[in-house]
Amino acid sequence: MMQIYGPSLAWPRAPPQCSRCLFLSVAYAALFVLMRYMYHIHTQGVKKIMSHIEEGKTHLVFNGLPVLLQQGDLSAAAQHPCMKLLHQAVVLTAKQYDGEVRSSYYTYYGVEQPANTGLALHIPIRPGKPRGEAIPRGIGLVVDETGALKFLGDPWAVDEHFYQQVQQAIVQKYTALAHMAVLKQMNYQVSSQQLDDQITITGGSYAA
């Protein structure tokens, strides 16, 4: 049972006996019930908007990167082939959704959460666009101790489908860029084209 504290919510002292005692008693009682009800609604609302960081898992695993991140060698980590491709993928996704790339994401209450990759995609609220298609607190890209890539962020008030769509776009772009890199190493001429949410890769061998 909820306990109410504070003098403002204590049951008021009964008014002195007079011809209007009954009316005042009923009025005081109604006011007290209303105050309790408003306090209950307020506390329930706070529970619903408490910051909650969600974790989105991916199939991407970056070998050798966790060691560099654990050592705090960010310059070496930035030169890792996977990190270069991941950075490109995030930048491309930011352009697609009119967003920006930062190094941290934030909780509902504005507490900064640095991403160990130094990559977090933010999509500000823009005039003329649905509120649910903005990620103002950002999505952080984090690599765990196994090398697996994860998305961390607080999606409060963000459309669930849109939130998943942005994450999928980053993974899709990274995968396409990785395939292109492999083909180039095999001496193929490679080009890519993005149509809506699809990336088309075409390649051909160099002429002898």
| CA 170/CA 154 separation, integer angstroms | 18
pTM above 0.75, yes or no: no
> Which residue, 110, 115, 101, 108, is CA-closest to 158?
108
| CA 2/CA 76 separation, integer angstroms | 54
Give the N- to C-terminal CA distance of the chain in Å, as an integer. 82
Which tokens sit at 109? 């209450």
Are 115 and 53 contacting, i.e. CB atoms less than 8 angstroms apart? Answer: no
Which tokens sit at 129? 């666009």
| pLDDT in the model for residue 67 | 92
| pLDDT in the model for residue 193 | 64
| pLDDT in the model for residue 1 | 43
Cα angle vertex 103, ends 153, 75, to 5°? Answer: 135
Characterize the bridge pairing of strands 104-106 and 100-102: unpaired
Residues in the chain, pLDDT under 50: 1-12, 14-15, 18-24, 26-50, 207-208
> Which residue, 91, 148, 140, is CA-closest to 116?
140
β-bridge partners, 104? 114
| pLDDT in the model for residue 46 | 28
Instruction: Give the DSSP letter string of the chain.
Output: -----SGGGSPPPPPPSSTTHHHHHHHHHHHHHHHHHHHHHHHHHHHHT----EEEEEEEE-TTHHHHHHHT-HHHHHTSHHHHHHHHHHHHHHHHTT-EEESEEE-TT--EEE-TTSEEEEE---TTS-GGG-EEEEEEEEE-TTSEEEEEE--TTS-HHHHHHHHHHHHHHHHHHHHHHHHHHTTEEEEEEEETTEEEEEEEEPP-
